[in-house]
């Protein structure tokens, strides 16, 4: 991971000072570096130890960072990684444009690999991420969103980059399509579990530990799994309350909404859904070599469920 950070720092070079200032502001604010870690662990599990893994791990972190910069503008978010978002600090134009810089720098780096399959995986993933975000926009304020509709969005906007990170390791390792498919299945399930937990934490997390505001999804009129389950289980009065809150897109009724989520036990059902995905991720590694990297990938899937921030 230190090597990845070196590549990240080296490839932020630009003659325009604002590019480095905004990019360093968000990248050096921390962040779990989950996607690069996934790519490195998967490479290790499959026996690949070449330097290209550091470059591609930096590429996925750049793409991830570009999506965060754009997402915080779209959502008008003010807090991320425990401090003011880049849009709050530098303004929307700088955030969008430096997101474009990081996204296109990532593409320069992937072209440097000269590997068509690598380019295809990353081009497809970023296109699906953007499409998922547009679908999420279309779904905004729709209190009737189904669990299936929700899952489709999170597979695109979040799980796709996890899937791509895992697939890239298989390509680097020269594994066949069967192993690449297992990597993809692991990445997709891990990313889905991760986003389901993220959505649970928006209602019951510790805002301080998470470094972002609670109730953001409700404020944005975003229907996520805790509310979808509460909608299925609630009384008519409870459903009407949830519907009003999602349609209004306001945190004014956050307390009452959280109370409905609690009374319908929707949070434990949400966490159980994440646990199912984590289990799917582990199952995908059944035929993997039994080494310490595979062990770490199994632990990573289990540890997501314990995540509090």
Note whether 47 and 288 are within 8 A (CB): no
- Binding residues for ligand GRG restricted to 244-303, rule: CB under 6 A: none
Of the residues 48, 54, 62, 103, which one makes contact with ligand GRG according to CB under 6 A: 103
In whole angstroms, the minimum distance from the beta carbon of 167 to ligand GRG comes to 17
Note whether 276 and 291 are within 8 A (CB): no
Residue 20 or 31: the one with the smaller Cβ distance to ligand GRG is 31
- Binding residues for ligand GRG restricted to 152-211, rule: CB under 6 A: 157-158, 195, 198
Residue 32 engages ligand GRG in binding (rule: CB under 6 A): yes
The mark string for 56-75 relative to ligand GRG (x by CB under 6 A, - otherwise) is -------x--xxx-xx--x-
In whole angstroms, the minimum distance from the beta carbon of 157 to ligand GRG comes to 4
Residue 136 engages ligand GRG in binding (rule: CB under 6 A): no
How many residues lie near ligand GRG (CB under 6 A)?
21
Residue 166 or 260: the one with the smaller Cβ distance to ligand GRG is 166
Of the residues 7, 34, 190, 230, which one makes contact with ligand GRG according to CB under 6 A: 34
Note whether 255 and 216 are within 8 A (CB): no
Of the residues 3, 14, 20, 31, which one makes contact with ligand GRG according to CB under 6 A: 31
In whole angstroms, the minimum distance from the beta carbon of 226 to ligand GRG comes to 15
Q: Which residue is nearest to ligand GRG (CB)?
A: 31
In whole angstroms, the minimum distance from the beta carbon of 102 to ligand GRG comes to 8
Write out the residues near ligand GRG by the rule CB under 6 A: 31-32, 34, 63, 66-68, 70-71, 74, 81, 99, 103, 126, 129-130, 133, 157-158, 195, 198
């Amino acid at each position: 991971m230190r090597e990845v950070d070196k590549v990240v720092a080296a490839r932020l070079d630009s003659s325009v000072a604002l590019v480095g200032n905004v990019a360093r502001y968000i990248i050096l604010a921390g962040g779990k570096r989950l996607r690069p870690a996934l790519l490195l662990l998967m490479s290790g599990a499959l026996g690949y130890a070449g330097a290209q893994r550091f470059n591609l791990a930096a590429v996925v972190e750049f793409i991830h960072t570009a999506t965060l910069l754009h997402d915080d503008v779209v959502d008008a978010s003010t807090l991320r990684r425990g401090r003011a978002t880049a849009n709050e600090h530098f303004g929307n134009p700088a955030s969008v444009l430096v997101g474009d810089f990081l996204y296109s720098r990532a593409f320069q780096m992937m072209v440097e690999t000269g590997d068509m399959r690598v380019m295809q995986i990353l081009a497809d993933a970023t296109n699906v991420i953007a499409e998922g975000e547009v679908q999420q926009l279309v779904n905004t304020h729709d209190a009737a969103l189904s669990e299936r509709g929700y899952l489709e969005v999170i597979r695109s906007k979040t799980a796709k980059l996890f899937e791509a990170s895992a697939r890239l390791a298989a390509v680097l390792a020269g594994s066949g399509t069967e192993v690449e498919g297992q990597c993809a299945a692991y990445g997709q399930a891990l990313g889905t579990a991760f986003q389901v937990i993220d959505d649970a934490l928006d209602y019951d997390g510790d805002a301080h530990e998470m470094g972002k505001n609670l109730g953001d999804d409700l404020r944005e009129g975003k229907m996520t799994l805790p509310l979808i389950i509460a909608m299925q289980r609630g009384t008519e009065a409870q459903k009407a309350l949830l519907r009003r809150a999602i349609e209004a897109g306001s945190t004014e009724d956050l307390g009452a909404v959280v109370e409905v989520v609690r009374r319908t036990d929707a949070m434990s059902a949400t966490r159980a859904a994440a646990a199912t995905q984590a289990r799917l991720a582990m199952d995908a590694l059944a035929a993997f070599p039994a080494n310490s990297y595979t062990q770490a990938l199994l632990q990573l899937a289990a540890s997501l469920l314990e995540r509090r921030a």
